[in-house]
A and B are shown apart, each in its own frame.
Chain A
C-alpha cells in the first residue's frame, strides 16, 4: 500500500517525473478554477444572485474579514495569497472522500512547497510594507545577539508549518489504512469523516498562521498607520 503520493509515478523522463502529488494537485487546481470560472461567468451586482455566487461571496467575505481581524489592515493585497492557501488545502483535503484520490497535502513535498512559499512571502510582504532596511532591522532586535535566534525561529516555524500539515493529513490516511485492515466496513468511514474535519481545521490553521507571520512582519507599518 502506498502512503506517500510522491511514490506513485505516472510518467517519468529522466529525473523529471509526474507523480500522483502533481496530478492530484492539478486536479484540485482544475476543480477550483472551474468552479470559480463557472460561477463568476454570470455575476450580478443586483439583489438577485445565484446560490453559487452567494456561496463564493460568503467565502470571500469571510476570508477578508478574518484577514482584517488578524492584520488590522486592508485585506486586499493579502487575500490572493492567504485565501489561495486556505482554498487549496481545504479542497485538497475535502476531495479525500473520492475513492482513489490521494490528498497532495499528504505529501511532504507539497507541504514543504507551501511552507517555502510562506517563508518567502513573509519577508516579501514585510519589505513591500516597510522597506528593506526597516524590515531587516527586525532580525537584530532587541540586540544583534538575537540575530541567529531570529533566523532559527524563521526557519523552524516554516518547518513546523510544513510538518504539521503533512503529519495531520498523512496520519489520517495511515489511520484509515490501518483500520481498514483491522475493522473493515463502518469504522473507517467515521475516521474518514474525522479526517475531513481535521483537514478543514488544518487548512484554517495553515492559512491563519501564514497570515499571522505576514502580519507580524508588517505590524510596524500598521502600527504607524
Chain B
C-alpha cells in the first residue's frame, strides 16, 4: 500500500499525453467523420425531398393533363356523335326525298300512260261505235244515218219543254246568231227545213248559221251561247269515257301505292 510519488507524477504525465494522443487520433477524426456522414445524409435527405416535391409536382401536372385530355376526348366523342346523328338524319331525309321523287315520277308516269291509254281507247271506241252504229242504222232502215240524226235533232227541238226553251231564248238574246254544227255537210233543203223548225219552236226570225266540225264524230247540235241542243255521238262516247276512267282510276289507285311502298322500303334497305 505504498505510493511511489515519482511513479504517480509519471503516470499523471502519461495520462495527459494519452488524452492528447486519443484526442488527436481517435475522437476528432471519428467525430468529424460522423459529422460529415450526418451532414451528407442530411443533404441527401434534403435533395430527396426536393426531388420528391418535384416528382409530386410533375405527377400533379400529368394528372391535370390526363384529365384535360379526357375532357377533350369526351367533347370530341360527343361532337362526333352529334355529327353522326345529324348526318344520319340528313341521309334519311335525302332518302325519303329521293323515294318521294321516285314515287311522284312513277305516279306521273302512270297518270300519263293512263291518259294516253284513255285517249287511245276513246278514239278507238268512237271509231268502233260509229262504225257499229252506222252499220246498225244502215241495216235497220233504208234512210241514211244523217237523216236519222237530223230527225232525232228535230224531234228534240219539237219536244222541247218550256223551261229549256226559255233558257235557250234567254241565251239567244245575248249571243245571236245561233249556230247549227254538224259533222257532215247539210244540203240546202235540209238547212231550210231546220231553220224553219227553229223559227217555229224557238223564235221567229232568228238568224241561224251552219258550221261543220268533224271532231264531234257524228251528230247535229244547236249551239246557243253556252247551251246545246241536239244529238251527238261524242256525248255517248264521253259518258263511256267517264265510266272507263272511273274503272281505271279504281284499279290504278291500288297498284301504284303498293308499288311505291315496295320501292320505298327497298331504297331504305340499300341506304341503311
Among the listed stretches B4-12, B69-77, B199-207, B248-256, which one makes contact with chain A, having 4 or more residues with CB under 8 Å of it?
A: B4-12
Given known A17-B6, A46-B40, A112-B3, contact A25–B11 (CB-CB < 8 A): yes
- Asked if A87 is an interface residue, CB under 8 A from chain B, the answer is yes
A-B contacts at CB below 8 angstroms, number: 112
Given known A33-B21, A114-B15, contact A60–B4 (CB-CB < 8 A): no
> CA of A87 to CA of B15 in the docked complex: distance in angstroms?
11
> CA of A202 to CA of B62 in the docked complex: distance in angstroms?
65
Residues 7-45 of B contacting A (Cβ, < 8 Å):
7-12, 14-19, 21-23, 25-27, 29-31, 33-34, 36-37, 40
Q: Which residues of A contact B22 (CB under 8 A)?
A: 32-33, 36, 80, 83-84, 87
Residues 74-88 of A contacting B (Cβ, < 8 Å):
79-81, 83-84, 87-88
Q: Which residues of A contact B30 (CB under 8 A)?
A: 40, 43, 53, 56-57, 60
- Asked if A190 is an interface residue, CB under 8 A from chain B, the answer is no
Contact of A61 among B23, B25, B34 (CB under 8 A): B34
Q: Which residues of B contact A104 (CB under 8 A)?
A: 11
> CA of A33 to CA of B19 in the docked complex: distance in angstroms?
10
The 10 tightest CB contacts between A and B, nearest first, are A113-B11, A45-B36, A40-B29, A109-B7, A36-B25, A36-B26, A80-B23, A43-B33, A45-B37, A113-B12
Residues 97-117 of A contacting B (Cβ, < 8 Å):
104, 107-110, 112-114, 116-117
Contact between B18 and A107 (Cβ–Cβ < 8 Å)? no
Within the complex, what minimum Cβ distance (angstroms) separates A32 from chain B?
A: 6
Contact of B33 among A16, A44, A87 (CB under 8 A): A44
- Size of chain A's interface in residues, with CB distance under 8 A? 43
> CA of A53 to CA of B18 in the docked complex: distance in angstroms?
20
> CA of A103 to CA of B26 in the docked complex: distance in angstroms?
23
> CA of A16 to CA of B7 in the docked complex: distance in angstroms?
9
Contact between A19 and B4 (Cβ–Cβ < 8 Å)? yes
Within the complex, what minimum Cβ distance (angstroms) separates B213 from chain A?
A: 130
Contact of A60 among B1, B10, B25, B26 (CB under 8 A): B26
Instruction: Tell me whether chain B's interface is mostly helix, strand or loop, or mixed.
Output: helix
Q: Which residues of A contact B215 (CB under 8 A)?
A: none
Contact of B8 among A33, A84, A112 (CB under 8 A): A112
Within the complex, what minimum Cβ distance (angstroms) separates B156 from chain A?
A: 139
- Asked if B187 is an interface residue, CB under 8 A from chain A, the answer is no
> CA of A17 to CA of B4 in the docked complex: distance in angstroms?
10
> CA of A22 to CA of B11 in the docked complex: distance in angstroms?
7
> CA of A133 to CA of B10 in the docked complex: distance in angstroms?
32
> CA of A191 to CA of B254 in the docked complex: distance in angstroms?
133
Contact of B14 among A25, A44, A60, A112 (CB under 8 A): A25
- Asked if A186 is an interface residue, CB under 8 A from chain B, the answer is no
- Asked if B142 is an interface residue, CB under 8 A from chain A, the answer is no
- Asked if B2 is an interface residue, CB under 8 A from chain A, the answer is yes
Given known A36-B26, A40-B30, contact A21–B36 (CB-CB < 8 A): no
Given contacts A21-B11, A83-B27, A109-B7, 17 further A-B contacts (CB under 8 A): A19-B4, A21-B7, A22-B11, A26-B14, A29-B14, A33-B21, A36-B22, A36-B25, A43-B33, A60-B26, A60-B30, A60-B31, A84-B18, A88-B18, A107-B7, A108-B3, A110-B11
